[in-house]
Amino acid sequence: MAQKPDDDTRPLAVVSPGFAAEPMARSIPARFEDIVRRYPDRLAVKMAGRELSYAQLNREANRIAWAIFERRGAAKESVALLFDHGIDVIAALLGALKAGKFYVVLEPSNPSQRLGYILEESQSALLLTSKQHLGLARQLKTDDSCLLDIDDFDRSRQLENLHLAIAPGDFANIIYTSGSTGEPKGVVATHLNILDSHMVNPDAITILPNDRLSLLHSLSFHSAHGHLFQSLLNGAALFPFDVKSVGAHRLAEWLRVEQITMCHLPNSVFRQLAETLSGHASLPNLRLIHLSGAPMTALDFHLYKEKFPSETQFEVSMGSTETTGICSAVIDRSFSFPLEGCPVGYPRRNKKVLLLDENGHMVLPGQIGEIAVKTRNMKPGYWRRPELTQAKFRYDTPGDDEGIYLTGDLGKMLPDGFLIHLGRKDSLVKIRGNRIDLGEIERPLLAHPQLADAGVVPWERQDGETCLAAYIVARSEPVPRVDELRSYLGEKLPDYMIPASFVFMKSLPSVNGKLNRKELPRPDGRRPALKQPYVEPTTDVERQLAEIWEEVLGVRPIGIHDNFFDLGGHSLAATRVVSRVLKKFQSDLPVNTLFHSPAIAEMALVVAAHRWKQLDEAALQAVLDELDSLTDADAQKFAAEHGSGMSKK
pLDDT of residue 267: 82
10: in domain: no
Residues 177 and 297 in one domain: no
- CA–CA separation, 318 vs 329, rounded Å? 10
Contact 19, 235 (CB under 8 A): no
Domain boundary among 224, 241, 258: 241
Q: Each residue of 55-76: b (16+ CB within 10 Å) or e? A: ebbbbbbbbbbbbbbeebeeee
| Residues paired with residue 456 on neighbouring β-strands, in sequence order | 470
Give residue 17's pLDDT band: very low, low, confident or very high (50, 70, 90): very low
Residue 313 confidence (pLDDT) above 60: yes
Residues 236 and 251 in one domain: no
Residues 24 and 158 in one domain: yes
Q: Which residue has the higher pLDDT, 354 or 437?
A: 354
8: in domain: no
Amino acid at 590: P
Give the structural domain span for 318.
Answer: 247-426
pLDDT of residue 639: 55
130: in domain: yes
pLDDT of residue 142: 76
Residue 157 confidence (pLDDT) above 50: yes
The domain that holds 439 is classified in CATH as 3.30.300.30
Closest CA to 199 of 350, 407, 401, 418: 350
Percent of the chain topping pLDDT 70:
87
Closest CA to 36 of 209, 295, 279: 209
Give residue 88's pLDDT band: very low, low, confident or very high (50, 70, 90): very high
pLDDT tens, position by position, 498-557: 999 999 999 888 765 567 888 899 988 899 888 889 999 999 999 999 999 999 998 999
| Residues ≥6 apart with Cβ < 8 Å to 648 | 627, 628, 630, 632, 635, 636, 638, 639
| Domain total of the chain | 4
- CA–CA separation, 208 vs 262, rounded Å? 11
| Residues paired with residue 149 on neighbouring β-strands, in sequence order | 129
HSE-CB of 376 using CA atoms within 13 angstroms: 5
Contact 439, 451 (CB under 8 A): no
Residues 254 and 377 in one domain: yes
525: in domain: no
| Residues ≥6 apart with Cβ < 8 Å to 405 | 320, 322, 323, 372, 373, 375, 378, 392, 393, 394
pLDDT tens, position by position, 287-302: 999 998 777 888 889 8
Q: Which of 89-98, 600-609, 616-625 has the highest mean pLDDT?
A: 89-98
Domain boundary among 209, 241, 273: 241
pLDDT tens, position by position, 461-492: 777 778 899 999 998 888 999 999 999 999 98
pLDDT of residue 438: 84
- Span of 42-51, 137-146, 163-172 with lowest mean pLDDT: 137-146
| Residues ≥6 apart with Cβ < 8 Å to 463 | 271, 299
pLDDT of residue 518: 80
Residue 208 confidence (pLDDT) above 90: no
The domain that holds 141 is classified in CATH as 3.40.50.12780
Residues 185 and 56 in one domain: yes
Q: Which of 380-394, 590-604, 635-649 has the highest mean pLDDT?
A: 380-394
Give residue 617's pLDDT band: very low, low, confident or very high (50, 70, 90): very low
137: in domain: yes
Q: Which residue has the higher pLDDT, 18 or 631?
A: 631
Our measurement of the distance from residue 244's CA atom to the centroid of its chain's CA atoms, rounded to an integer in Å, reads 10
Residues 297 and 402 in one domain: yes
| DSSP assigned state of 556 | B
Residues 386 and 515 in one domain: no
Q: Strands 381-382 and 185-190, how do they pair?
A: antiparallel
- Span of 74-88, 376-390, 393-407, 557-571 with lowest mean pLDDT: 393-407
Pick left, alpha or beta for residue 273 (phi over 0 → left; psi -120 to 50 → alpha; otherwise beta). alpha
Residues 255 and 362 in one domain: yes
pLDDT of residue 22: 46
What mean pLDDT is reported for the chain? 86
21: in domain: yes
| Residues ≥6 apart with Cβ < 8 Å to 640 | none
- CA–CA separation, 233 vs 217, rounded Å? 18
| Residues paired with residue 454 on neighbouring β-strands, in sequence order | 472
Give residue 272's pLDDT band: very low, low, confident or very high (50, 70, 90): confident
Q: Which residue has the higher pLDDT, 596 or 119?
A: 119
pLDDT tens, position by position, 19-44: 333 456 789 999 999 999 999 999 99
Closest CA to 265 of 432, 93, 85, 106: 432
pLDDT of residue 406: 93
Residues 446 and 579 in one domain: no
- CA–CA separation, 287 vs 402, rounded Å? 35
